[in-house]
């Protein structure tokens, strides 16, 4: 009888990501899933190098980590033709129309769908086709961001709440189902309030929760000027850090991140190159 190889994770120097070794997507059991979940919660981001799995395998694997969430882009240009659970991220064109979402431009630092009442717990992103250069994905830990705050800043954010408008996206386009607001003050628009410091529901650790932009974000109870100044300081502290993992993609690579304690961004790439990624997203709880 063959002895099963024990899973292990190799931590990167960034302290943000762990490479999972020994996982077989064709033959895994509940113990293997439990080990992956342990590493995912430990590192915030895990990677499977050149896994080379199918769409169906990605969907089946993702089911073990929660119910699926439909990303807003899946209702527009990012829907998958046969697997509704998958968001297609691609700059490829078909019959003169985008065959996926997000094109080739830069995606700035964000946590996924921060403007939801219950943002997703995590996401699993698989490289189907990659450009020869560009399109790298960067990850940081919002645990580390909170833990390394100077004491005065930590005192300033603990117990605070942050309002995010949910009418416009980061490019200035109206979100699906939204209409142009009458007020010029975004604080009067439709939106959601979350804690500025959230406590992870599984690990109990605290993490900064900055969403995806300072535009349309307001720390409740502060003046606009005070809020803008504090948010600028928090964003600078969070993103100007040595603790960043850079994923330079190979076809078949899979990145799996915990949306409750990480942020990520993407480099732009040459529009003449094709980049296709398939993503599944799993449900989360309301931040507390």
**Which pLDDT score, from 0 to 100, does residue 27 have?**
95
Is 67 found in the same domain as 28?
yes
Among 9, 71, 15, 139, CA closest to 282: 71
Residue written as token pair 């943000």: 16
- State CA 255 to chain mean position distance: 10
- Among all chains, which residue has been given the structure tokens 């969430």? 69
CATH of residue 215's domain is: 3.60.130.10
CA distances from 119 to 18, 79, 87, 223 (A): 23, 19, 16, 26
Residue-level pLDDT at 75: 80
Show the 3-state SS of 158-227: CCCEEEEECCECCCCCECCCCCCCCCCCHHHCCEEEEECEEECCCCCCEEECCCCCCCCEEECCCCHHHH
What is the extent of the structural domain holding 203?
142-239
Rounded Cα–Cα distance for residues 44 and 194 (Å): 20
81 within 8 A of 55, measured Cβ to Cβ:
no
pLDDT in tens for each of the 288 residues of the chain?
444 567 999 999 999 999 999 999 999 999 999 999 999 999 999 999 999 999 999 999 999 999 999 888 888 888 898 999 999 999 999 888 889 999 999 999 999 999 999 999 999 999 999 999 999 999 999 999 999 999 999 999 999 999 999 999 888 889 988 999 999 999 999 999 999 999 999 999 999 999 999 999 999 999 999 999 999 999 999 999 999 999 999 999 999 999 999 999 999 999 999 999 999 999 999 999
- Residue 3 belongs to a domain: no
Same domain, yes or no: 172 and 199: yes
Statement to judge: residues 24 and 109 lie in one domain? yes
Same domain, 120 and 260: yes
- The DSSP secondary structure of 19-76, one letter per residue, reads EEES--TTS--HHHHHHHHHHHHHHSEEEETT----HHHHHHHHGGG--B---GGGGT
The total number of structural domains in the chain stands at: 2
């Amino acid at each position: 009888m063959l002895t099963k190889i024990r899973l292990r994770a190799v931590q990167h120097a960034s302290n943000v990501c762990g490479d999972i070794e020994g996982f077989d997507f064709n033959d895994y059991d509940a113990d293997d899933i439990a080990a992956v979940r342990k590493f995912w919660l430990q590192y915030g981001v895990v990677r499977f190098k050149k896994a080379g799995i199918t769409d169906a395998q990605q969907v089946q694997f993702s089911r073990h980590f929660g119910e699926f969430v439909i990303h807003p882009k899946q209702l527009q240009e990012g829907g998958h033709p046969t697997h509704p659970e998958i968001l297609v991220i691609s700059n490829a064109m078909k019959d003169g129309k985008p065959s996926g979402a997000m094109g080739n431009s830069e995606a700035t630092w964000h946590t996924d769908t921060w403007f939801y009442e219950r943002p997703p717990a995590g996401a699993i992103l698989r490289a189907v086709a990659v450009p020869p250069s560009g399109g790298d994905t960067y990850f940081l830990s919002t645990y580390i961001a909170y833990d390394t705050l100077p004491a005065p800043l930590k005192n300033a954010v603990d117990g605070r709440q942050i309002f995010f408008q949910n009418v416009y996206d980061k490019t200035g386009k109206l979100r699906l189902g939204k209409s142009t607001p009458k007020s010029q003050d975004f604080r009067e628009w439709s939106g959601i309030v979350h804690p500025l410091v959230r406590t992870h529901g599984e690990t109990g650790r605290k993490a900064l929760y900055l969403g995806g932009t300072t535009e349309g974000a307001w720390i409740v109870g502060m003046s606009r000027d005070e809020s803008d100044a504090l948010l600028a300081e928090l964003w600078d502290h969070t993103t100007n850090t040595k603790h960043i993992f850079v994923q330079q993609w190979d076809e078949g690579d899979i990145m799996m991140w915990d949306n409750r304690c990480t942020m990520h961004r993407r480099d732009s790439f040459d529009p003449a190159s094709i980049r296709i990624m398939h993503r599944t997203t799993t449900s989360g709880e309301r931040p507390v």
